[in-house]
Amino acid sequence: MKKVKVAVIGYGHLGKWHCQKVEAHKDSADFVAIVEKFPAGQEAAKTNHPHVKVVSSIEEVINDIDAAFVVTPTSTHFELVKYLIENKKHIFCEKPLCSNDNEAKILTEIAKKNNCLIQLGHSERFHQAWEILRDKFQKLAPPYSIRINRVAPFKGRATDVDVVQDLAIHDLDLLLYLFQQKPVEINGNGFKIRTKNWDHVSLDIKLQNACEAKIVIGRNSVKELRDLEVTSAQGMIMVDLFANKILEASSSQFEDGSFVREFAYQKRDHLLLEHFHFYDSILNNKPAIINFKDGVRAVHLVDVALRSLETNDSIKVHLG
Ligand SMILES: NC(=O)c1ccc[n+]([C@@H]2O[C@H](COP(=O)([O-])OP(=O)(O)OC[C@H]3O[C@@H](n4cnc5c(N)ncnc54)[C@H](O)[C@@H]3O)[C@@H](O)[C@H]2O)c1
């Protein structure tokens, strides 16, 4: 296979950007089709990509493609991913992989029988900050305490899902990716403010070996905050994901006499990197950079967090 024959499913807010990234990888991707259910989106897709076939359902082009990007609302991921696996297509699925543990279990069974590459869109893993800090985080001696904020004023988007599925999933995935000590129990508290779903949530997470994490996620906040802070006997590291800055206060003074040092990291195009890795994995037989199991584990943490919110109880995590 010299080029991957690709369809993008869903021409909404993020689907438009995915289509641009397919176009940006002309050497490795052959843009076969855009699949969009509704006429307004189909018209926009035709205008912006006149050389690409625009259809209303994936069945119409399933025999013409090697791979598909699933960029539709979360409630549709399960059926689409199932259909694509059954048809032995490579899949890039935007987060989350599916809506709950039961769906993940079914997909796991089907995926075992088919040899397709499945990459998940946990795009927050692509911050350059993690390349600089992950090794340090992995070696951090317990106990340590992690605090993550991801809040913003109301934008009216993704209100069909709660903030755990839409936003906290990024941070739950980052916990698994960045730190050695894994979640063992989650206790959630939250509010339904503007929608019938959780709009503001606070998750208290017990990690292994007396470590802990607190994740605060909200879409009805007075200001925008996106940061991650880790504190231990070795000091504090704070990553401002908005300003692309790392701030560090060590257990001793820095060489220049200061108590806090600050440095900037490069802002990157996460979607472009995701596309690069997806085609590279397919064409060069490499494992997915963020794989199916990562997707299943993130869905499990979301499932546990939502059960905790609904029952007002702490719920145990079983990562498998
Ligand atoms: N990685 C990230 O940071 C990030 C950011 C935003 C959204 N997302 C994810 O991307 C997905 C899409 O989000 P969005 O904001 O673009 O949503 P959106 O509602 O703006 O767009 C979804 C599009 O899919 C179309 N659609 C629905 N069902 C379809 C089907 N069966 N076949 C074809 N088209 C269908 C809709 O008509 C719509 O145009 C969600 O799963 C969301 O969680 C990820």
Domains detected in the chain: 4-123+271-289 (3.40.50.720), 125-266+302-316 (3.30.360.10)
SS3 of 302, please?
helix
Tell me the C-alpha distance between 240 and 227, whole Å: 5
Confidence (pLDDT) at 251: 84
b/e per residue 267-280 (b: at least 16 CB within 10 A): eeeebeebbbbbbe
CA 260 to each of CA 75, 136, 238: distance values in angstroms, whole numbers, following the listed order: 45, 17, 11
In 3D, which of 173, 166, 75, 168 has the Cα closest to residue 122? 173
Q: What is the pLDDT of residues 309-319, one digit of tens each?
A: 999 999 999 99
89-109 per-residue burial string, b: 16 or more CB within 10 A, e: under 16: bbbbbbbbbbbbbebbeebee
Strand partners for 207: 183
pLDDT value of residue 43: 98
181 Cα: distance to centroid of ligand 1 (angstroms): 33
Q: What is the C-alpha separation between 169 and 238, in angstroms, rounded?
A: 20
- Pocket of ligand 1 contains residue 14 by CB under 6 Å: yes
pTM, entire model? 0.96
Q: Map tokens 């069909």 to a residue.
A: 160
Asked whether 35 lines ligand 1 (CB < 6 A), one says yes
Determine if the peptide bond prior to 96 is cis (ω within 30°).
yes
* β-pair type (225-232, 235-240): antiparallel
Q: Quick check: CB of 205 below 6 Å from ligand 1? A: no
Q: Please answer whether residues 114 and 88 qualify as being in contact, where contact means their C-beta atoms are separated by less than 8 angstroms.
A: yes
72 ligand 1 Cβ < 6 A? yes
Q: Does any ligand 1 atom lie closer than 6 A to the CB of residue 190?
A: no
Is there an atom of ligand 1 within 6 Å of 10 CB? yes
Mean pLDDT by 10 residues, the chain (320 residues): 94 98 98 98 98 98 98 97 98 98 97 92 98 97 98 93 97 98 98 97 98 98 97 96 96 88 96 98 97 98 98 95
The predicted pLDDT at position 115 comes to 82
Q: Which helix (H) or strand (E) holds 106?
A: helix 101-113
Q: How far is the CA of 123 from the centre of ligand 1 (A)?
A: 15
Model pLDDT for residues 239-291, shown as the tens digit of each residue: 999 999 999 998 888 888 899 999 999 999 999 999 999 999 999 999 999 99
In this structure, which amino acid lies at residue 202? Answer: S
Residue 105 region by backbone torsions, left for phi larger than 0, else alpha for psi between -120 and 50, else beta: alpha
Tell me the sheet residues that pair with 253. none
DSSP type of residue 55: E
Q: Mean of the per-residue pLDDT values for the chain? A: 97
67/3 Cα distance (integer angstroms) = 11
Give the pLDDT score at 1: 67
